[in-house]
Amino acid sequence: MHTLPRLRIEPRPSRVGFALITLACLAAAVLAAVLPLTLPVAVACLVAIGIAFRCGHRRCVGRDVPAIAHVGIDRTITVTDRQGRSRDGVILADSFVAAPLTTIVWRAHGTPWWRPPDVILVLPDTLPRDDFRRLRVTLRYGFPATGAATSGVDAG
């Protein structure tokens, strides 16, 4: 049987994503400062907001943005990070595909069941328009090679 070539994408850091995360965290910090909270609770809220900002920064413009990803129609993926390390895995059914936002939820082969899956956030400014369209089509109409790829959570 003839296999289709895998889609090669090279996501760039997302300035739009970074701006949205910055605005959301800034608004949450202002809200935490304005609310009548005790000092320990306010500090805990600000620390949680800071952690969320740092994680969002890494996901949009930091080291969690992959250098290259090869996505197959059979929902397989190979991700190469900025340090040159590659990992093979499978794209889970928990991925989300829409015009303004696509998330690739995937699990590397050999990852323990208790570890959360990896997520690649893809916004329109991270890929050229044609590559973004191809990625959405590949994810939407892809099929698992063997069995259903899920995170293990029963939806029903």
**Rounded-to-integer distance, Cα 85 and Cα 146, Å:** 26
Nearest to 148 by CA among 90, 108, 69: 90
For the chain, give every domain's residue range: 7-12+67-141, 15-60
Which band of pLDDT confidence, cut at 50, 70 and 90, is reported for residue 4? confident
Residue 89's SS3 state is: strand
Q: Is the pLDDT of residue 153 over 90?
A: no
Tell me what the mean pLDDT of segment 112-117 comes to. Answer: 94
The number of beta carbons lying within 10 Å of the beta carbon of residue 53 is 18
Length of the chain: 156
pLDDT, tens digit, for every residue of 63-86? Answer: 889 999 999 999 999 999 989 999
- What is the model's pTM? 0.82
Q: Directed axis angle between helix 15-34 and helix 39-60, to 10°? A: 180
Tell me what the mean pLDDT of segment 48-74 comes to. Answer: 93
Nearest to 57 by CA among 22, 95, 91: 22
- Answer positive or negative: Cα dihedral of 31, 37, 43, 47: negative
User: Can you give the pLDDT at residue 156?
Assistant: 42
**Rounded-to-integer distance, Cα 108 and Cα 47, Å:** 30
User: Can you give the pLDDT at residue 62?
Assistant: 87
- Whether the Cβ atoms of residue 78 and residue 20 lie closer than 8 Å to each other: no
Q: Is the pLDDT of residue 1 over 60?
A: no
Percentage of residues of the chain with pLDDT beyond 90: 80
Helix H or strand E segment including 78: strand 76-80
